[in-house]
Chains A and B, each alone.
Chain A
Amino acid sequence: MDFETNYDKLLASLTSLILNEISFENQKLKAELKKEIEFILNNLKAKLKKWTVLLSTKKIDLDEFKWLINSQKDLVFIHSLYQVGLTKNKIGRIKRDIMHRIFYDLSKFKY
């Protein structure tokens, strides 16, 4: 079996394993999380494939291989911070638009 097939199998089983571990009442949230997990694992796929080749050709050793895998974990964490920040900015902007609208209406209102 080649790397692609193996990895796709691993991806599917990891996704279902994670989703089964956490119980969700909200199906929409579950679907969103599934998308997020698949994004993370797909992103890792190309790198993992490259690092596996480097390991098998002895261009990097096992310790370096593990180091790189852990660096991906840290990168995913930075990415999640980035996403949280973007959402926070977006909601903040919507609220400010609402506030602006209210100030505008207040100034035009005939008391």
Chain B
Amino acid sequence: MKNQILKIIFLTITLLIVNSCSLLKTALYDQYTYENVTSLKVESLHLMSSANSPFSDFKNEVDKLKIDLEKLSEYEKNKSNNEITYEMINLIKNADKNLLGGFLKRWEDKNKLSESFIEESKYQVQEAFDLLIKYELNKDKDSISNYIKQN
């Protein structure tokens, strides 16, 4: 009888913890996301360096970059427990904010941007991408079930 009660207590505690874990779940590390973000960072900074030339000369490259950012955003949106990564990407690509999206919009509006402004903006965009990459690398590599099996 005593053992039965103990078993029930153990199971109840386990269920409570499993339940509270689901509230704290974050998406697992995703190699595709990591590679995509790293590649987009390099492409973005490279393209930003050309902003001292007329926008029209680079319109196709800018459009391609915007589509790639949209694709990544859509991919991240559909992953469960991935709100933080999704929000970070949206801040970077949003044309109404002052990171990559805002920079590209400004380039289009002004046609050409000054060297110093380009350099300073690149530092800002680079920092934003670095945080996104660091956050992806910090995610767990294995699921809970794998974790339990391995231990």
Q: Point out residues on A near B: beta carbons under 8 Å.
A: 47, 50-51, 54, 59-61, 64, 67-68, 70-75, 77-79, 81-82, 84-86, 88-89, 91-93, 95-96, 98-100, 102-106, 109-111
- A85 with B99, Cβ < 8 A, contacts A59-B114, A102-B10 known: no
State in angstroms the CA–CA spacing of A77 and B17 once bound together. 31
- Which residue of chain B lies nearest to A67 when distances are taken between CB atoms in the complex? B98
Contact A100 B151 (CB under 8 A): yes
Given contacts A75-B127, A78-B131, contact A70 B117 (CB under 8 A): no
Interface residue tally for chain B (C-beta within 8 Å): 46
Interface of A is mostly: helix
Complex CA distance for A88 and B138, rounded to whole angstroms: 11
Smallest CB–CB gap between A36 and chain B, Å? 16
Contact (Cβ within 8 A) B98 A64: no
How many angstroms between the C-alpha atoms of A59 and B115 in the bound complex?
Answer: 8
Q: Is the contact region of chain B dominated by helix, strand, or loop, or is it mixed?
A: helix
Chain B, 129-150, CB within 8 A of any chain A CB: 131-132, 134-135, 138-140, 144, 147-148
Q: Is the CB of A99 within 8 A of B17?
A: yes
Kindly list chain A residues whose C-beta atoms are within 8 Å of the C-beta of B140: 89, 92-93
Within the complex, the shortest CB–CB distance from A81 to chain B, in Å, comes to: 5
- B131 close to A99 (CB less than 8 A): no
- Find chain A residues with CB under 8 A from B88 CB: 78, 81-82
- Residue from the list B13, B18, B114, B148 in contact with A60, Cβ < 8 A: B114
The interface residues of chain A lying within 8 Å CB-to-CB of B135 are: 82, 85-86
